[in-house]
Amino acid sequence: MNDSTSALLQDAAQRAIRYLQGLPARAVRPDPAAVAALSRLDLPLPQNGLPADQLLALLDEAVSPATMAMAGPRFFGFVIGGALPATMAANWLATAWDQNTALYPVTPGVSHLEQVALDWLRDLFALPAGTAGAFVTGATLANFTALAAARHAVLARTGWSVEADGLFGAPPIQVLIGEEAHPTLLKSLGLLGLGRTRLTRLPVDAQGCIRADALPPLRGPTILCLQAGNIHSGGSDPLRSLCNAAHQAGAWVHVDGAFGLWAAVSPRHAALVDGLPLADSWATDAHKWLNVPYDSGLAFVRDAHALAASMSISAEYLPRESDQRMPADYTPELSRRARGVEVWAALLSLGRSGLAELIERNCAQARRFADGLRAAGFEVLNEVVLNQVVVCFGNADTTLRAIASLQADGTCWCGSTVWRGRTAMRISVCNWSTTDEDVERSLAAMIRCARQAGA
Ligand SMILES: *Cc1c(COP(=O)(O)O)cnc(C)c1O
């Protein structure tokens, strides 16, 4: 490597460090002037390339201030984690390795590391021995991957090979899903040819969770999709009773636990997902509550054979002599980055108790938001059982004005929603760096902005 490459990477590290150091103090929203100036990037592709140091300076000056401080401690929109320092450092090193993590014999280091991380995760979630895991881009693809295995298994039991023959003429599959399932689950089902709307929707309770008595009689190939962690309430479907009932009819049970699965690692919150290991497949995100950089999701399938049957490929030029786990046998992708490296780094840097403490701290911070907002006279719509809070500042207009004022204020950032017919603001606490002081500052800003909006 020549001196100018070394200087370039040092410069990039310095700029990244400066950005991170600025996160706690800067406004959370993008700087409006920087957003307005983004048009300076709209150049035709030049005939001759720009030196990389100039390009990096342009990137930092034009784009850094136009970012949302999602990685910082007071971003409470959607369900977004930050990146633990150990994960970012591991990510930088792994980017230098640039390993195409498809085949064990070619990339033994990162392939092995991913197996270690999967073992730790199976242990943390108490998943059955032999459960297969896969590193994918996020919970959307984790749902897709796990449901592809489900589709394989329920049709294989009727003697149908969906991989060979597709769904043309196949026995119909009954798919059941809660009224408040995440929209990406519907998308995954659509991608798999199971239909976004050709579904049996199951009624939910006031927390948006499927009612324990909601299951109709099940017959034939059946997939039941449950949820651990409703994006509004944080609540989970009654996993134990629904798994038991569905299994009596031979159904496959899948759990979308993009953030809610992590409740299992906290002794204080594990009861919320009681029965989790009874399911047949699980999807979760690492880029949300585990606080690794984007993008990173995880799929788990009890029947490893069903996952491999739906995902594996073979070709003469792909080496297979190894009896080691082949990463590409479990993912939709062949070529991909070594996204298990950051998962490994997050788990090892936190340890079992550090991870439980992160989950519990964020949940306590969510309860503090709810208590503070209620004390100020505002209506919290959900029972705060995890890290999500849904609050109304009055009627829809007042609530939307309060949210707009809060977003412009910049102390923190929260988004709007409509839940169970009410216009409301969502607060999601899942960043490792959020302090109790951040919560107090943000709470004060919420109350101030709501009052300004006439609440
Ligand atoms: C975030 C989320 C998803 C989608 O995850 P992506 O990582 O954005 O693909 C799916 N289900 C639930 C419950 C979620 O919270």
Please identify which residue in the block is written with the tokens 């100020």: 376
Question: Is the distance from the beta carbon of residue 285 to the nearest atom of ligand 1 less than 6 Å?
Answer: yes
| pLDDT value for 178 | 98
| Angle between helix 436-452 and helix 396-409 axes, rounded to 10 deg | 130
Query: Which residue in this structure is represented by tokens 């401690």?
Result: 73
Nearest alpha carbon, ligand 1 atom 7: 138
Q: What is the pLDDT of residue 316?
A: 75
Name beta bridge partners: 201. 177
**DSSP structure class, residue 377:** T
Tell me the three-class secondary structure of 388-399, residue by residue. EEEEECCCHHHH
Given this model, what pLDDT does residue 1 score? Answer: 80
pLDDT the model gives residue 322: 65
Q: Is 388 in the pocket of ligand 1 (CB under 6 A)?
A: no
Give 139 Cα–ligand 1 centroid separation in angstroms: 5
Which tokens in the block code for residue 356? 């439980």
Element (H, E) at 307: helix 304-311
Question: Are β-strands 379-380 and 388-392 bridged in parallel, bridged antiparallel, or unpaired?
Answer: antiparallel
Instruction: For ligand 1, atom 15, name the residue with the nearest CA.
Output: 258
Ligand 1: distance of its center to the CA of 366 in Å?
19
Whether 231 is in the pocket of ligand 1, judged by its Cβ within 6 Å, is yes
Residues 6+ positions from 60 with CB-CB distance below 8 Å: 15, 19
CA 142 to ligand 1 centroid distance, Å: 9
Q: In the beta sheet, which residues pair with residue 284?
A: 298
Ligand 1 atom with the shortest distance to the CA of 259: 15
| Ligand 1 pocket member 259 (CB < 6 A) | yes
Buried b (16+ CB within 10 A) or exposed e, 161-172: ebeeeebeebee
Is 372 close to ligand 1, i.e. is its CB under 6 Å away?
Answer: no
Q: How many whole angstroms separate alpha carbon 266 and alpha carbon 277?
A: 15
Cα separations (Å) of 336 from 135, 194, 296, 317, 332?
A: 9, 27, 11, 17, 10
User: Sheet holding 174-178: strands in order across?
Assistant: 132-136, 297-301, 281-285, 252-256, 222-227, 174-178, 200-202
DSSP assigned state of 178 = E
pLDDT at residue number 314: 77
CA 252 to chain centre: 22
User: How remote is the CA of residue 279 from the centroid of ligand 1, in Å?
Assistant: 19
Domain ranges of the chain: 90-346
Q: Is the CB of 258 under 6 A from ligand 1?
A: yes
CA distance 89 to 289: 18
Best mutation site among 135, 137, 140 for ligand 1, i.e. most ligand atoms within 8 A of its Cβ?
A: 140
Q: Is 177 in the pocket of ligand 1 (CB under 6 A)?
A: no
Specify whether the CB–CB gap between 182 and 231 falls below 8 A. yes
Averages of pLDDT over each 10 residues, the chain, 455 residues:
93 98 97 98 96 97 98 98 98 98 95 97 97 98 98 98 96 98 98 97 98 96 98 98 98 98 98 98 98 98 96 78 85 97 98 98 98 98 98 98 98 98 98 98 98 96
Residue 184 beta carbon below 6 angstroms from any ligand 1 atom: yes
CA angle 206, 211, 214 (to 5 degrees): 140
- Of ligand 1's listed atoms, the one at least distance from the Cα of 231 is 15
Of ligand 1's listed atoms, the one at least distance from the Cα of 229 is 13
> Residue 213 has what pLDDT?
95
Q: What backbone torsions phi and psi does residue 187 show, to the nearest 5 degrees?
A: -65, -45
Cα of 181 from ligand 1 centre, angstroms: 10
Architecture of domain 90-346: 3-Layer(aba) Sandwich (3.40)
What separation in Å is there between the alpha carbon of 184 and the centre of ligand 1? 7
Our answer on whether the CB atom of 144 is closer than 6 Å to any ligand 1 atom is no
Q: Is the CB of 175 under 6 A from ligand 1?
A: no
Write out the two tokens for 128: 């059955």
Angle (CA) 63-54-92 rounded to 5° is: 65
Cα of 9 from ligand 1 centre, angstroms: 33
CB 84, CB 423: distance < 8 Å: no
Closest CA to 75 of 26, 32, 109: 26
Q: What share of the chain is helix, strand, coil (3-state, %, to 5)?
A: 45, 15, 40
In short, whether 363's Cβ falls inside 6 Å of ligand 1 is no
Q: How far apart are CA 184 and CA 352, in angstroms?
A: 30
| pTM for the whole structure | 0.97
Say how far apart CA 408 and CA 398 lie, in whole Å: 15
How far CA 51 is from CA of 8, 57, 81, 296, 353, in Å, comes to 10, 10, 34, 32, 47
DSSP designation for 128: P
Q: Is 281's C-beta closer than 6 angstroms to any atom of ligand 1?
A: no
